[in-house]
Structure 1
Amino acid sequence: MTLGVYSILLRLLLPMALLRLYARSLKAPAYRRRIGERLASGDAAPRADLWIHAVSVGEVQAAELLIRRLRGRDPALRVLVTTTTPTGAARVQDLLGDAVAHRYTPYDLPGVMRRFLHQVRPRLVVVVETEIWPSMLAACERQGIPVVLANARLSARSARGYARVGGLTRETLQRFARIAAQSDADAQRLIALGADAGRVQVTGSIKFDLRQPASQRELAETLRRSWGIQRPVWVAASTHEGEDAQLLEAHRRLLARLPKALLVLVPRHPERFDRVAALVERQGLAMARRSREEPCREDRAVLLGDTMGELAAFLAAGDAAFIGGSLVPTGGHNLLEAATAGVPVAVGPHTFNFAEITEMMVREGAAVRVADAAGLAALMQAWLSDAALRAQVGEQGRAVVERNRGALDRLVAVIDADAEGDLFD
C-alpha cells in the first residue's frame, strides 16, 4: 500500500469514523463534543513549541513525566497535548491543568494534518508509544519538523499487522527522526519493519520512573481506613468486557474461604460502569459505588471503582491486585503502578501488550500468571491469608521497578539530540 492509497481509503472511511464517534457518544457523551478538533476545523489549535501525542490515560501518565521535566528546564515552553479519547483528555486536565493546551488528535488525512500543523507550528513532535500515522509523518517531513517516537513498544501481534502493509510501514517508520524503544525486542521488531537502525535506541520504559505523589498516598490511606484495616482487599484493575463475570466468580470462590474479603472492581472504560454495576447486582453481591461515595461497610462484598484518576490510590490501598485485559484476549495493561506501590500482582494468560515487562515481573517473582477464575481465586486466597508472602512478592515488584528506573533521563537525551538545541533557545 502507498501513502496515496492509504489517504484515499481513509477519506472513504471518514463517514464511518464520524458515525462511530456518534455511536460511542450514546454511551459516553463526551465523544460528541469538540468533534471539529478531529478535523482541525473551528477554533484553531494554539501555537506550541512541542506537540506531544498521547492516545489515552496510560500514555498521558507517561507523558506527564516528560512534560514536567522539559517545562522544569524551560517554564516558557509551550506544550500541546493531543489525545484520541475523552478519558485521556480528562487525565491531561487532572495531571497538568493549564500548564499545557489540549486538543483531540486530528484524523490522519493529508489536508487535515496540513491545516493542524499550520495552526500549531511545532518545532518538535513527540509521539508516545505505538502511534504510527503515515500522513502526519509525511506532513511533518515536508515542513521540516522532526518527530520522535518515544517509549515505543510494538508487540509481536501488532508487528504482524503492520507487516501486512509492509511498504507503507517501512516508508512511514523511516520518517521518524529518532525512535526510543522500551526494549531490545521492541527495537528489533521496528527495525525488521523498516525503521533505520541508526535512529533506534533502547531507552527502557519511562513508566518505571513513575512515582506515586503524596496526594495519592494520602488518598490510599483514607480509602483503606474506610474499608477496614484488617479486612482482606484485592483490586481488579482496568477490566474489560467478558472479564468482570470471571472476576466475580473468583470473588465468590474467595468469599467461601474469606467471608469478609472485598473486591475493588475498576472497569477500564467509563461507558461500562453502569453495565458492570448491573452485572454485580444480578450476581446478588452487595455493592457500593465509589462515584456515589457510598460507605463500603463490611457487609459490602464489592466496591465498584467507577471514577477516573483514582486507580493508583485503589491499588496502593489494596493488599493484592489483578491487572485486567489479561483473562480475555485484549493483551493486558501495565503492571507497574501496582508494583511501585509494593502490591503483589496477578495477570491472566493474555499479556502481549506488555509482554516484556510482564515476563520480567513473573521471572523475578514479582507477579504470578493464572489461567482462569479458579486459579485467580486460589492465588488471592494464598496472598490474602499470608501477610509475609504478599509482602515478599510486593517487595520483589518494588525492586524490579527500582532497578529499571532511568528511562526518562535517556529519553530526554534523545529529545535534546534531535531538537538540536533549538527547542530550548
Structure 2
Amino acid sequence: MARRLYTLFFFFCLPLILLRLLYRAIKAPAYARRWAERFALGGDVRRGGIWVHAVSVGESIAAAPMVRELLERYPQLPITITCMTPTGSEQIRKLFGGQVGHAYLPYDLPWLQRRLLRRLQPKVGIIMETELWPNLVAEAKRAHVPLVLANARLSARSARGYQRVGALVRPMFSALDWVAVQSQAEALRFVELGVAREHMQVTGSIKFDFRPDPAQVQQARELRARWGSERPVWIAASTHAGEDEQVLRAHRRVLEALPDALLILVPRHPERFDSVARQVSEAGFGMVRRSRGALPAADQQVLVGDTMGELVFLYACADLAFVGGSLVPNGGHNYLEPAALGLPVLSGPHRFNFTEISELLEGAGALQVVDDETALAVAVQDWLQQDTARQRAGQAGQAVVADNQGALERLLEGIARLLS
C-alpha cells in the first residue's frame, strides 16, 4: 500500500519534476537533452549483461575501478551504466567511451522501470552507494534480477530520514540480494532498516582502492614547476554555493602571510563555473581559468578549476587540500583522493557523508577539521609554512589509504557469486 501511494504521489508530481528539469536547463543546458531516456526510451542499452547505476560524478568515479575489473573478468558480458545527471553522464563517457552502454535512469514509476529492465535483461544489477528507489527495487525483484548495493554507505542522518518512511523503504531494503557496506556502524543502520544480516558484508570502501595514475602525477608536477616551484599552492575542491566566498576570504588572509600563495578553486557543479569566476573577479583577485589553458602569473592569486575530469590532476598540483561541501551542511566529499596523493586534508565541520573515513584520517593526523573561514585561513597558513609537518601528515594519509585497501576485491567476489 505504501508503495502504491508513493507511485501515485510521484505520478502527480511529474509535471513539477519536469518543470524543475526545465529550470535546471536554464543554467545547465544539458538537462534539456535526452529526455526520452528519463522515460526508458533510447540510450545505449546493452542487453543480457551487467547493469551498474551510479547517480552522478562522484559515484561514477568510485565505480570506475570496479567497472574496469568487470570488463576484464567478464569480457563476454556487456556492461550498461545508468546515471541521473549530465555531469555524471559526461564523466562516464570520459572514463569508458564506447566500452560500456550508457543511459539515464528513468523516473521511478513502475512501468518505466519495467521497460528499462525488459530492455536490459541484466544478469545482475549493481547500485552504487545508496541510490535506491522503491519501484526500481520492486521491479528488479519482480524480474528476478539480483541487486547488489555496492560501496554502501548510510549516515545516521540519512538513516533517521528513512525511518520516518519505514513502511515504504523497509520492503525496499529487505529485497536487496547483497549489500557490500563500508563500515560496521553503517551495517547496523542497514539492519535496522530491514536488510537481512546474511545478505550483507562489511567490505570497506572501494574508494580506498583508488591509485593515482603515475603519468598524471608526473604531468601535474611538470605543470606545477612552470608556475614556480617555490610558490605555495592550496586547493579548495568540490565547493558549494555559500562556501566559495568563505574560501576566498580565507585566501585573502593567507595572502597577508604568504603574498605569493595560489588558490586552486574547483566548484563542485559545472553550471557554477561562470558565476564562481565572476565572484573571484569581483572580489578583486587576479584570476586565470583552467579551461583557457594559460598559466597563473605572479600577480594572479586564484586558478579557477572550470574543467571536468581534472580534479585528481589539480589535487596533484597542490601542497594541501580543503575538501568542500563541509563548511556548508552538505556532508563533505571524498577525502581519500587528496590523501592518496600525500596531501594533508582540511575539512569543515559538516562531514556526515564520510564520517568514518574522515575520522580515520583525523586520528592518523592526516586531516584537520576547521569550523569556519578564520580557522581555515590559520590552518592553511600553518601547513604551507611547515614543510616537514605537512609531509608527515601527507604520509600518514597515504598509510591510512594503503592499510584499508582490499574492498574492491571483496566486492568483486560477492558479485561473482551472484553471476555464477
Query: What's the TM-score, normalizing by structure 1?
Result: 0.97
* 3-state secondary structure, aligned to 2:288: strand
Cα offset for 1:295? Answer: 2.2
Structure-to-structure mapping, 1:34-53, within 5 angstroms: 34-42=34-42, 45-53=45-53
Which AA in structure 2 matches 1:121?
Q
Q: Are the counterparts in 2 of residues 327 and 348 from structure 1 also a CA contact under 8 Å?
A: yes
Q: Which residue in the other structure is 2:184 paired with?
A: 184
Distance (whole Å) between structure 1 residues aligned to residue 48 and residue 259 of structure 2: 55
Deviations 1:93-133 (A, max 9, x none): 11111110110111111000111111111110000001111
Q: Which residue in the other structure is 1:219 paired with?
A: 219
Q: Which residue in the other structure is 1:404 paired with?
A: 404
Distance (whole Å) between structure 2 residues aligned to residue 66 and residue 44 of structure 1: 20
Tell me, yes or no, if structure 1 residue 369 matches structure 2 residue 341: no
* 3-state secondary structure, aligned to 2:219: helix
Q: Which residue in the other structure is 1:5 paired with?
A: 5
Q: Which residue in the other structure is 1:349 paired with?
A: 349
Distance (whole Å) between structure 2 residues aligned to residue 335 and residue 66 of structure 1: 19
Distance (whole Å) between structure 1 residues aligned to residue 287 and residue 48 of structure 2: 46
Which AA in structure 2 matches 1:83?
C
Which AA in structure 2 matches 1:296?
P
Cα offset for 1:417? Answer: 1.7
Tell me, yes or no, if structure 1 residue 175 matches structure 2 residue 159: no
How many residue pairs match? The answer is: 420
Q: Which residue in the other structure is 1:297 paired with?
A: 297
Structure-to-structure mapping, 1:236-385, within 5 angstroms: 236-385=236-385
Which AA in structure 2 matches 1:378?
V
Q: Which moved more, 1:96-105 or 1:209-218?
A: 209-218
Cα offset for 1:321? Answer: 0.5
Tell me, yes or no, if structure 1 residue 201 matches structure 2 residue 201: yes
Distance (whole Å) between structure 2 residues aligned to residue 44 and residue 103 of structure 1: 6
Q: Are the counterparts in 1 of residues 46 and 78 from structure 2 also a CA contact under 8 Å?
A: no
Q: Are the counterparts in 1 of residues 44 and 102 from structure 2 also a CA contact under 8 Å?
A: no
Distance (whole Å) between structure 2 residues aligned to residue 22 and residue 225 of structure 1: 44
Distance (whole Å) between structure 2 residues aligned to residue 400 and residue 249 of structure 1: 32
Cα offset for 1:90? Answer: 0.9
Q: Which moved more, 1:133-142 or 1:71-80?
A: 71-80
Structure-to-structure mapping, 1:20-99, within 5 angstroms: 20-42=20-42, 45-99=45-99
* 3-state secondary structure, aligned to 2:117: helix
Which AA in structure 1 matches 2:181?
A
RMSD: 1.1
Deviations 1:61-81 (A, max 9, x none): 111111111111122320000
4+ long deviations beyond 4 Å = none
Q: Which residue in the other structure is 1:161 paired with?
A: 161
Cα offset for 1:228? Answer: 1.5
Distance (whole Å) between structure 2 residues aligned to residue 225 and residue 33 of structure 1: 41
* 3-state secondary structure, aligned to 1:26: helix
Cα offset for 1:334? Answer: 0.8
Which AA in structure 1 matches 2:18?
L
Q: Are the counterparts in 1 of residues 266 and 306 from structure 2 also a CA contact under 8 Å?
A: yes
Deviations 1:168-207 (A, max 9, x none): 1111001100001000111111111111111111000000
Cα offset for 1:226? Answer: 2.7
* 3-state secondary structure, aligned to 2:207: helix
Distance (whole Å) between structure 2 residues aligned to residue 204 and residue 152 of structure 1: 9
Q: Are the counterparts in 1 of residues 235 and 320 from structure 2 also a CA contact under 8 Å?
A: yes
Q: Are the counterparts in 2 of residues 263 and 301 from structure 1 also a CA contact under 8 Å?
A: yes
CA spacing shift, 1:43–1:308, aligned 2, 3 Å: closer
CA spacing shift, 1:252–1:43, aligned 2, 3 Å: closer
Q: Are the counterparts in 1 of residues 208 and 404 from structure 2 also a CA contact under 8 Å?
A: yes
Which AA in structure 2 matches 1:381?
Q
Q: Are the counterparts in 2 of residues 48 and 80 from structure 1 also a CA contact under 8 Å?
A: no
Q: Which moved more, 1:342-351 or 1:7-16?
A: 7-16
Q: Which residue in the other structure is 1:416 paired with?
A: 416
Q: Are the counterparts in 2 of residues 38 and 105 from structure 1 also a CA contact under 8 Å?
A: yes
Which AA in structure 2 matches 1:90?
E
Cα offset for 1:46? Answer: 3.1
Cα offset for 1:274? Answer: 0.8
Which AA in structure 2 matches 1:93?
R
Q: Are the counterparts in 2 of residues 59 and 129 from structure 1 also a CA contact under 8 Å?
A: yes
* 3-state secondary structure, aligned to 1:284: coil
